[in-house]
Each structure stands twice: as C-alpha cells, then as structure tokens.
Amino acid sequence: MESESVREQNPFTKGWVEWIRKNLELEVSASAMTEAMVRDGIDKTIAEAMIETARLLGGESGTSGNSTTRAAKMEWILDSLARSDRARSSEIQTKKSISNEEFYESFYFSNEPLILTGWDEVKAIRDDLSWNALSKRYGEEEVEIQEGRNADQYYERNSNEHKSVVKFREFLDRVLRDDEDNDVYLTANNGKRNDEVFSSITNSNRWMPDILDRENHKGKAFLWIGPKGTVTQLHHDLTNNLLLQVSGSKSVKLFPPCYFTRIYNDFHCYTGFDCDHPDYERFPLVEEINMRECILEEGQALFLPVGWWHQVRSLSPSISITAVNFHHYNRFPDQYTTHWDIS
C-alpha cells in the first residue's frame, strides 16, 4: 500500500499528524511510515514516537478510527432506523399467551415489547401479596425504601442518596392512603437490602411464566411497592426486563433505542425529559419520537426490551415485580462502560 507524502520539515505540524493518522487508517506499516518521514529529514526516534502516539490515541482503522466520523456514522444509522420507526404503528402487541419459540423469535431477539395479558402463574402468590397478608407477615420488618424524592428533581439518578430504612407497616400505611404520593417508593434499587425479608417472593419461582428461566432465578427478581402516583423517571435499562403487575395498575410510556439522538440522554441511562409534563421548548427533538403508551393491569406482564426507554406511573397503590432471568443471553451490562456523564 502506498503511503501519502507530506513535504514539511517540522514533524509536529498538523500536516504530519494528519498524514500519520491517514496512513494508520490505510494500514500502512509503522516501518514504511518511519522510512518516509526519515527520508523527509525527520529524526527516526521522533518519527517512531509520533507514530506510536497516534496509534495509541486510536488512529488505526478498525479500532476507534476517527471518533467524530464514527459517531456521525452511528448517528446516521440510528436516524435511519428512527425514520422507519416513525412510520410504524404505536400499538404495543398484546397476547394472552405465547410459546417460548414465538416469544424469543418475535420479541426477545427482535427487541420488540409485548404485553402478556394472561399471566396465570400470578395466582400462586396473589394471596401472599394481598395488602393484608403483607402487613401481617412483614409489618414489623425493617425495610429499605426510597424517600425524599419530592425534593429532588433527579431522584432517580441520585437514588443512592434517597435510601432510607423504615418499618414496613408504617410504609404500607402511607402506600394505602388515597392521595397521590411520589415521595416514597420501595424499588428494585432497594432489592439487595430487602432480599432476605422478601426472599419467599423474590427468590421463589412459583409465579414465573414459562418465558422466564425457573432454574436460574435466584437474585433475578425485584419488588416495586408504592402508593398511587409514583413515577419512575424516563430511563432505559441495561437488560431485557419482564415487568409483572401483581396488584394495581400502571401507565407505561416507552419508545425504542433508535431515538437516542432525540432524547437528550445526558447521564448514564437517564434524560431530563418528563413524558408526563413534556417541555418541547427545552427538548424539541422529542416531538419526533413515536412514543408508545399502555396501561399495565393486574395479572399482566410487560416485556421491556433492552435499551427501550420507559417512564412508569402507578395509577393506584401498586405491587410489581421485575424479572431478568430469561432463557437467553441477558448479560448486556458486562459490555456497558458509559455509567456517568455523557452530555
């Protein structure tokens, strides 16, 4: 492969730096480049150091390349997918029951949400999870919840600062009051601390539909208990999730990952956009999103594919479970590196 040549004597000019980057992209060998630079009067040690530095900074094609160009190309791909998505129906598919074959082929691997209306296995835990039974069995237990959310616009991304330990009965009293209350919520984020208390629910597989892997369920289910009016702010998860509605109902707004360039994702998996109070002056591109919306009723389950954005509001006192133990690969967090500021 021919190397490009630049007639300049000062090796640190933009011209030489660009020349090296271009030749790395063309997969020209370091020795051929060094030779060309030495021929042009550049000291061999300096030439070698410049090439090695450029290589380490990602000038080689097939690795990070020119990151601005690559980011632009990724944006183009996503925008093209978003253009097609905007032409699609905003209905979420609903099925009473589904075979594993159809679920994995048409929904799990296709990154497509689904509402399963016939989650019959819920019957196995409905009595254990009635409000009375919960109060009787766990009332005296200390549990961890999220608290003080009303005072923090970003209560979700700051969730670690809102953890608080309370007596479960006192929490339930608040959950069952009739008014809307987003200040307290027992969430998946509290799962670790509460795992022992609620083990007979979260570490049991008797409520799991077939699409979940009943042999691989320990530590893979998380409880959500809260009053009417809790809002889980718009975010995407790093796994495929099944959100199972045990008691009460929730409204869910969701849309696919191809709208990444329109959702103002500024931190980890969050955005400042609020689907329930849309501010299109601050977030104008969101208007181009084909938002889906559904109500998840008691005894139903919603498949939330990895990367799909969702905002969830409870319409009544509510108990849900999120499970992540599917029969196929769901370890996407292993490859995730952008946990913090990405603005």
Among the listed residues 330, 307, 337, the one whose alpha carbon sits nearest the alpha carbon of residue 81: 307
CA angle 334, 71, 62 (to 5 degrees): 70
Ranges of H-type helices in the chain = 14-25, 30-39, 44-56, 67-86, 100-103, 123-126, 131-138, 168-175, 191-194, 199-202
Token pair of 288, please?
Answer: 């181009």
Nearest approach in angstroms of CB 57 to ligand AKG is 38
Amino acid at 166: V
C-alpha span between 33 and 20 (Å, rounded):
8
Nearest approach in angstroms of CB 295 to ligand AKG is 13
In DSSP terms, 184 is beta-bridged to none
The smaller minimum CB distance to ligand AKG, of residues 21 and 250, is found at: 250
Contact window for ligand AKG (CB under 6 A) among 170-178, 237-245, 273-281, 328-336: 237-245
Contact window for ligand AKG (CB under 6 A) among 89-97, 113-121, 212-220, 304-312: 304-312
The smaller minimum CB distance to ligand AKG, of residues 242 and 289, is found at: 242
The smaller minimum CB distance to ligand AKG, of residues 262 and 310, is found at: 310
The smaller minimum CB distance to ligand AKG, of residues 145 and 312, is found at: 312
The smaller minimum CB distance to ligand AKG, of residues 50 and 252, is found at: 252
Establish if 312 lies at the interface with ligand AKG (CB under 6 A).
yes
User: Is 307:281 a contact under the CB 8 Å cutoff?
Assistant: no
C-alpha span between 188 and 210 (Å, rounded):
22
Establish if 239 lies at the interface with ligand AKG (CB under 6 A).
no
Question: Pick from 146, 240, 322, 325: which binds ligand AKG (CB under 6 A)?
Answer: 322
CA distances from 227 to 111, 233, 253, 318 (A): 31, 16, 19, 6
DSSP 228-247: TT-EEEEEE-SS-EEEEEEE
Map the footprint of ligand AKG across residues 133-192, applying CB under 6 A.
Answer: none
Question: Pick from 114, 221, 243, 244: which binds ligand AKG (CB under 6 A)?
Answer: 243
Sign of CA pseudo-dihedral 325, 329, 334, 339: negative
213 Ramachandran zone, left/alpha/beta (phi>0; psi -120 to 50): beta
The smaller minimum CB distance to ligand AKG, of residues 125 and 312, is found at: 312
The smaller minimum CB distance to ligand AKG, of residues 20 and 114, is found at: 114
Among the listed residues 102, 128, 154, 114, the one whose alpha carbon sits nearest the alpha carbon of residue 240: 114
Establish if 224 lies at the interface with ligand AKG (CB under 6 A).
yes
Question: Pick from 146, 205, 241, 325: which binds ligand AKG (CB under 6 A)?
Answer: 241
Token pair of 228, please?
Answer: 């009417």
Instruction: Kindly write out the interface string for residues 51-90 of this chain, putting x where it contacts ligand AKG by CB under 6 A and - elsewhere.
Output: ----------------------------------------
Eight-state DSSP code of residue 91: P
Question: Pick from 24, 237, 247, 265: which binds ligand AKG (CB under 6 A)?
Answer: 237
Nearest approach in angstroms of CB 205 to ligand AKG is 18
Map the footprint of ligand AKG across residues 244-273, applying CB under 6 A.
Answer: 250
Contact window for ligand AKG (CB under 6 A) among 143-151, 192-200, 236-244, 334-342: 236-244
Count of residues of this chain found to bind ligand AKG when the rule CB under 6 A is applied: 11
User: Is 233:146 a contact under the CB 8 Å cutoff?
Assistant: no
Token pair of 296, please?
Answer: 């998840």
Collapsing DSSP to helix, strand or coil, 144 comes out as strand
Establish if 320 lies at the interface with ligand AKG (CB under 6 A).
yes
Establish if 107 lies at the interface with ligand AKG (CB under 6 A).
no
Collapsing DSSP to helix, strand or coil, 54 comes out as helix
Give me the residues that bind ligand AKG (CB under 6 A), please: 224, 232, 237, 241, 243, 250, 304, 310, 312, 320, 322
